[in-house]
Structure formats: C-alpha cells, structure tokens
Amino acid sequence: MFKGILVDKTEQDYNAEVKTLEEDVLINGDTLVRVSYSTLNYKDALAITGKSPVIRKFTMIPGIDLAGTVETCSTGKFNPGDEVLLNGFGVGEIQSGGLAQKALLKSDWLIPLPSALSAKQAMAIGTAGYTAMLCVMALEQHGIKPEVGEILVTGANGGVGSFAIAILAKLGYTVVASTGRVEESEYLKNLGATEVMDRSQLSQPGRPLAKERWAGVIDSVGSHTLVNACASTQYGGMVAACGLAQGMDLPGTVAPFILRGITLAGIDSVMRPIADRVEAWDRLANLLDADTLDKASKEISLTQAIDAAHDLIAGKIQGRIVIKMD
Ligand SMILES: NC(=O)c1ccc[n+]([C@@H]2O[C@H](COP(=O)([O-])OP(=O)(O)OC[C@H]3O[C@@H](n4cnc5c(N)ncnc54)[C@H](OP(=O)(O)O)[C@@H]3O)[C@@H](O)[C@H]2O)c1
C-alpha cells in the first residue's frame, strides 16, 4: 500500500484526491521506484485542476517529474538501491506519474541521479530547469558564445525563464529578462539578469524585421513575443523556443530567416534522448549551487499539493514547489 494523488474524470466531475493505493494500480513498467521527492510543474497543476487536457488516460497519478530509489528492476539496468531521476516520457499523462510514494516505470526512461545533487535538489530543478539547460545547450551548439552579445530570456519570472537566467549568468552571458512582473526586477537581477524589460515591448504585433539586438533568445512564451524576438535577433543568431505561455500561434513572417539567416530551434524535453538528458543534468549539477536551489524552492507534503496546484494556476506561487513523499 502507498499514498498517491489520483485524478479521476467522469462526464459530470473532475476530481483529484490523495488516496491509499495498492501496487496493482501501477502498470506498464519494468522498474519499481520508491519516490522520495516530486515537484509541481505548470503542467502538473493543469492535470490536477483539470484546466487543460494534460491527462490522456483516467484514472491517473499525475506528476511529470520524480526522484527516488529503485526497489526492483526486471531489465537489470538498475540495481535495488540505485538513486534515479525521471522527467517526462508521458509519465503523469499516459503512464502513472511521480505524485505518489511509488511509481512503476520503464528503465529506459530513467537516468541516475547526479552524485552532486540530492533528490530534493533535483526536484527543485525539475523539468523547468532541465528544459532551460536544453535551451542553453542549443545556443552553445549554434556557436553562440558569451562574447557574441546579449541573450533575451522571455517569461523571465517563470520556472524555465528563471533557470535560463541563472544558468546563462553562471556561464558568463549577458542576459536581458523580459517579464510582465517588472516589480520583481530585483529577483531577476539577483538571478543574474543585467537588464529587465517589460514584456509589453514584445507581446504586441510588430514589424517583420526590427533593430538587430539579440545574439540569442530563450523563449517560453510563443505567439507575438516569439515573432518579435526573431525579428530583433542579430544576423546569424538563434532563438530557442520551448513554450507557449502567451499562445501557441506564430503570427510572423519568414523575413528573419531568409534575410538575416536566423535559426529557430524547437526544444522538447519530454521525449528527449537519454544522452542529452544525462549531459543536461550533469551540467545542472555542476552549475547550480545548493544555496540557489534552497532559495528558489519551497517544500510541501503530498497532502498540500492539490491546494498548491490551484494556487499555481491562480499565479499565486513564486519559485519552485518541491513535494516530499513521506
Ligand atoms: N518544450 C518543453 O519540453 C517544455 C518544458 C517545460 C515547460 N514548457 C513550456 O514552457 C512554458 C513555461 O513553462 P514554466 O514552467 O516556466 O511556466 P511558468 O512557471 O508558469 O512560467 C511562465 C511565464 O510566462 C510568462 N507569461 C505568462 N503568461 C503570459 C502571457 N500571456 N504573455 C507573455 N508572457 C506570459 C510569465 O512570466 P513573467 O511573469 O516573467 O512575464 C510566467 O511566469 C510553458 O508554456 C510550458 O508549457 C515546455
């Protein structure tokens, strides 16, 4: 028996509750993990509240991230007692997820927990930090070095945006943060932003080409913001697009691509191959110190997670929520 959040949907009702569950609710896996920590991403909050159709199979244990200890592994890839980490792969959407004391997973989805990180620290980073690292790696692979120029980070106060700023600053980049919450400028500057701009400068329809400014962009916002970011990227620069906080649309022109040779790189964290995950997590473990992670996260219990999901959707939460399973 173990405790977990169970989400159920009927024609009349959408319900999320902490329940005592039996192991036979866990199916389609070869590796049983005792979860020690999980986290609450925006996607998890959508799944718990039912605000968006994240869950594709009911009933479901939500939670796209988890860290814990292997109990059994029938493939032999991991040994009992190994500490592991999981992000995405449809977990918490079509496969029972991390917001429970146990999870049955495929060993191919798991990576070893980096030795420099505790399970709690890994969940303070979560999919948000891992996706930010993938965006930074994309800029690096495009040859954008710190000396080339300023990097724009949109959705700066969000999970992805905050980690993108912290990582870029640690690597020596000059970061300009775009936000709707300019009153949080001090927080963003403490993370490493050198300048903070109001997101309204980017969120309205703009011209096909604007003054060249950014060497690179990390965008978690989409829509007009992404289009305007492309239009103001320097010749040969790159924009890493990972999110849709403003919208899923892309109402722009091809001008920045065919006249300035800029590259728009799509970043997906969910189905990312294991080698990239291991690289991203090793880099995160080396770059982010314990103090930063402690300050950026708040620990709550599994029973508090459902209320926290509603608060997250209501925009009442700053920083990362880490969920202790015991
Ligand atoms: N591709 C992937 O694999 C992947 C992985 C993780 C997340 N994502 C996506 O990336 C996005 C950000 O995720 P997150 O975890 O950082 O979410 P989050 O913590 O909710 O942050 C989103 C941020 O976007 C900004 N924003 C919100 N509404 C906006 C609007 N209408 N116009 C412009 N900006 C707006 C806000 O930043 P300010 O307050 O600073 O303006 C907000 O804090 C989401 O769309 C998420 O689905 C994708």
Per cent of the chain over pLDDT 70 is 100
Give residue 296's pLDDT: 79
Residue 284 in contact with ligand 1 by CB distance below 6 A: no
**Residue 260 shares a structural domain with residue 139:** yes
* pLDDT higher than 80, residue 318: no
Give residue 11's pLDDT: 87
Q: What is the mean pLDDT of residues 273-284?
A: 97
Q: What is the pLDDT of the chain when averaged over all its residues?
A: 95
**Residue 130 shares a structural domain with residue 107:** no
Whether the CB-CB separation of 44 and 313 falls below 8 Å is answered with no
Residue 273 lies in a domain: no
Give residue 294's pLDDT: 84
**In this predicted model, which residue has the larger pLDDT, 98 or 294?**
98
Q: How many CA atoms lie within 13 A of 105 on its CB side?
A: 35
**For residues 270-302, b (16+ Cβ closer than 10 Å) or e, as one string?**
eebeeeebeebbbbbbebbeeebbeebbeeeeb
* pLDDT higher than 90, residue 137: yes
Nearest to 5 by CA among 298, 310, 235, 265: 310
Q: What is the DSSP letter of 263?
A: E
Q: What is the mean pLDDT of residues 25-41?
A: 95
Residues in the chain: 326
Give residue 255's pLDDT: 98
Question: Per-residue pLDDT tens for 163-200?
Answer: 999 999 999 999 999 999 999 999 999 999 999 999 99
pLDDT confidence of 288, banded at 50, 70, 90?
A: very high
**Residue 167 shares a structural domain with residue 92:** no
Cis peptide before 59 (omega within 30 of 0): yes
Final residue of a structural domain among 266, 283, 311: 266
Distance in Å, CA 156 to ligand 1 centroid: 8
In one-letter notation, the amino acid at residue 102 is K
Per cent of the chain over pLDDT 90 is 90
In one-letter notation, the amino acid at residue 128 is A
**Residue 141 shares a structural domain with residue 261:** yes
Q: What is the mean pLDDT of residues 257-272?
A: 98
Tell me the residue range of the domain where 261 lies: 126-266
Residue 51 phi/psi, 5° resolution?
Answer: -70, -20
* pLDDT higher than 90, residue 315: no
* pLDDT higher than 90, residue 268: yes
**Residue 214 shares a structural domain with residue 242:** yes
Residue 246 in contact with ligand 1 by CB distance below 6 A: yes
Give residue 227's pLDDT: 98
**Sequence-separated contacts (24+) of 165-170 with Cβ below 8 Å:** 165/191, 165/192, 165/193, 166/191, 166/192, 166/287, 166/288, 166/292, 167/129, 167/132, 167/133, 167/136, 167/284, 167/287, 167/288, 168/136, 168/192, 168/218, 169/193, 170/287, 170/288
Distance in Å, CA 226 to ligand 1 centroid: 12
Distance between CA atoms of 229 and 261, rounded to whole angstroms? 14
In degrees, rounded to 5, the angle at the alpha carbon of residue 49 between the alpha carbons of residues 325 and 101 is 15
- Domain CATH number, residue 157: 3.40.50.720
Give residue 314's pLDDT: 87
Q: What is the mean pLDDT of residues 245-258?
A: 96
Q: Is 86 helix (H, G, I), strand (E, B) or coil?
A: strand
182: how many CB neighbours lie within 10 A of its CB?
16
**Residue 146 shares a structural domain with residue 243:** yes
Give residue 282's pLDDT: 97
Question: Per-residue pLDDT tens for 54-107?
Answer: 999 999 999 999 999 999 999 999 999 999 999 999 999 999 999 999 999 999
Domain total for the chain?
Answer: 2
Give residue 316's pLDDT: 81
Q: Which atom of ligand 1 is closest in space to residue 225's alpha carbon?
A: 33
Which residue's CA is the nearest one to ligand 1's atom 15? 159
In degrees, rounded to 5, the angle at the alpha carbon of residue 242 between the alpha carbons of residues 54 and 185 is 105
DSSP lists the bridge partners of residue 69 as 34, 83
Distance between CA atoms of 310 and 46, rounded to whole angstroms? 9
Distance between CA atoms of 233 and 168, rounded to whole angstroms? 17
Residue 289 lies in a domain: no
**In this predicted model, which residue has the larger pLDDT, 5 or 326?**
5
CA-atom Rg of the chain in angstroms: 20
Final residue of a structural domain among 266, 288, 316: 266
Distance between CA atoms of 172 and 147, rounded to whole angstroms? 9
pLDDT confidence of 326, banded at 50, 70, 90?
A: confident
Question: Per-residue pLDDT tens for 100-115?
Answer: 999 999 999 999 999 9
Final residue of a structural domain among 224, 247, 266: 266
pLDDT confidence of 313, banded at 50, 70, 90?
A: confident
Nearest to 214 by CA among 134, 144, 138, 137: 144
Distance in Å, CA 221 to ligand 1 centroid: 6
Which residue's CA is the nearest one to ligand 1's atom 27? 245
Distance between CA atoms of 195 and 172, rounded to whole angstroms? 15
